[in-house]
Structure 1
């Protein structure tokens, strides 16, 4: 489990150099808006703020009208009249996104949004088009494109999160993008390792020289895995000191001993490990065709590390990611080593 957490950390850091804007960057617009609301003679600045940073043109028009700013009021009215048809199209698409629609209708909406972006570069609600396109991409499971669309929307109107729920969508698409990359890389690694194993098995043909002692050794290794896993599960798990949670209702943390309710996740982890042990043994038997003993040892260790890292990552992404909470007492170099994963009982019973 520790290896899975470590490899996830590596993948996350290598895959992305850009991060979602920190909270302080988003909050500065909210603070600025509050200051304007509290200030005197504020309507001109508020109108500009709503129009240029938030993208709420109705609120902007109200503030312009309150100070008889005829020029800006008429300009917004002109934009609404000019892009009346485009507004209707966008509003219909946004309404459809809240419903269950067919794939055909979804792609129709996608094409309409692309048409708005391509043919109307001066459209005053262009940021909303990118926001809606991001939602469409999320439904299509195109998380990278979704994330980029939300980012584009924020570039056009940096404070539009005060008007649209864009931040939650941005963070969700970012997380799902990371998840997709990790799972894809894991499958590629497993496929390559499987291909190497099959090629070695074909050329080495270990079944021609395997004797009873080799088979006995393989069974002994499997038996040792069973013993080590369940003794470690029982003994070391008992030493976990659960953190106390505050302000929670009906929350309870228990340690699930082997073969009891709540131990299902550990049983799945055991199967992954057993598969890795058998796979590593088959590879090791096939690697007998390598003449150099030092090279053979290095390759065996490297293969074992890769296979178990890939399997643990696959296990974590399928059964732990988004379904558990990481907790630790340590704040130093032992941060992950001293940690544990806490599952909700409804996810494991």
Structure 2
């Protein structure tokens, strides 16, 4: 695994033809990546394609040709083989362009609001904050329109008031701070694990135990930086992660589980259930978007396709959220209904599984 330092709110798009023609006395570092000690020899253009979002091999080759791809401070060609501990820099003759957080009049489902915080119910297919490929239409764009002067943090640039996040296709409850003090207090609760979050997830397969705990270090994949995986603790990769679960309902080929997070790692539930052989239903990044369990009958395949069409991505909903109010000290607990698509999905599985038990397995 390599370490990477980059501002994810900067756009990678640029005019390839301007690299050679641009005259500038200053170069700006857009990316800095250090190859892991166990890195295998690999062409640098291929190495970077897995680590820099939305960049093509052709762009990288143009960057190298212009002398803007550096390894340990020296320009290299695109066929350079990356070695362990190599420090790779992408430098370009123009400043990194910030993504301005533009207020947008997007409706927000507000569950609770006071002078210190807001609890929102995030819909499916909505990105929480701006990033590569998503510069508008995010929850943050909506929040800065509806609320003035949300607090900012240096390490959360572009995410005013944001204490935690949900993935694009994950629905449910999310807390946003309205003051600097509330942000500090709430962030500490998440860090100290005194907040409480429970999720409903539909996973592939018939989960064997009625309840259990998944433990495993979660870190970014060495092959594809867009996803994460579980690493053995003795390898020293990733961060400690713990997910508790219990079965809510069984549908023979899929299972509805409730998950309680003890830690809050990126993609934690999705990665942990993938790790134990039960990827989330219709998870586009972790293999849940194909038939994992079931029959080979055409009728079943059509049923699954119809189910996939009900939700844009993984069947995961942040159902409950419990926090201590940063000012009053009162324990606040919120519960949310499952989104319409997930409700319909579960009902279809309920009907299907009852028919299977009755002998109709086609």
TM normalised by structure 2 equals 0.23
**Larger of the two Rg values belongs to structure:** 1
TM normalised by structure 1 equals 0.23
Q: Which has the higher helix share?
A: 1
Q: Which has the higher strand share?
A: 2
